[in-house]
Chains A and B, each alone.
Chain A
Amino acid sequence: AQSVTQLDSHVSVSEGTPVLLRCNYSSSYSPSLFWYVQHPNKGLQLLLKYTSAATLVKGINGFEAEFKKSETSFHLTKPSAHMSDAAEYFCVVSDPSDFQGAQKLVFGQGTRLTINP
């Protein structure tokens, strides 16, 4: 079974400074990995996805993530934090279920990002 570990439950940075949200995964397949963001009382919005093409993936709102197979990591970064980035971030691995090809997303526990003015 595939799993995801987000190494920090809470990250706090100042506006204009870099953001690093860490994620390690466990997968017996060649994984598909995603980062989603959830603002308060909202659903989940896709930030970016890795699907075995380029190891450095660019997403929306200036976020990017680097897939490192040797470290089984998929960390999310942004050069300069904005107040609007304050939200919950989820690292997700896609688990192709063996039941008639369903696609099950396996979520990490989430990292709450706080931006200080």
Chain B
Amino acid sequence: DAGVTQSPTHLIKTRGQHVTLRCSPISGHKSVSWYQQVLGQGPQFIFQYYEKEERGRGNFPDRFSARQFPNYSSELNVNALLLGDSALYLCASSTGRGRANQPQHFGDGTRLSIL
């Protein structure tokens, strides 16, 4: 079975632009989470979606938004890009609604560079 897939793999943008990142979860997984990993640090939680609704949000500004579609795929949108948004954006999926002991399965990420 295919794992979590993310697109694009790399992206270069300039300050002030907006970007859309895409994620397809593992088949049968209904929950999608987004994480930001700045170089040299551990990933930071941005959002979790389950059944097309936002179930959790990390400490990120309103420039960050996301949505989940009926097929459980997801998009992460970032507006008014800043240099500090340069990072690896990771998508993770899990089987159901936020039980703490459920492992999340990660894609390979989208590397976003802001010039």
Contacts and interface: CB of A to CB of B under 8 A. Distances in A.
Interface stretch (B13-21, B62-70, B77-85, B93-101): B93-101
B40 to A, nearest CB: 8
A103 B90 contact: no
Interface residues of A, number: 31
Nearest to A103: B98
Contact of B104 (A29, A90, A103, A108): A103
A49 B90 contact: no
Given A49-B103, A101-B97, A104-B48, A110 B41 contact: yes
Contacts of A31: 100
Given A97-B56, A99-B57, A102-B55, A32 B101 contact: yes
B38 to A, nearest CB: 11
A51 B43 CA distance: 21
Contact of A102 (B48, B107, B108): B48
Contacts of B98: 96-97, 100-103
Interface stretch (A40-48, A70-78, A79-87): A40-48
B100 A96 contact: yes
B107 A105 contact: no
A11 to B, nearest CB: 16
Most buried by A among B42, B50, B107: B42
Interface of B: 4, 31, 33, 35, 41-45, 48, 50, 53, 55-58, 90, 92, 94, 97-109, 111
Given A44-B92, A101-B97, 11 more contacts: A32-B100, A36-B106, A41-B108, A42-B109, A43-B106, A49-B101, A94-B101, A99-B55, A103-B94, A105-B92, A110-B41
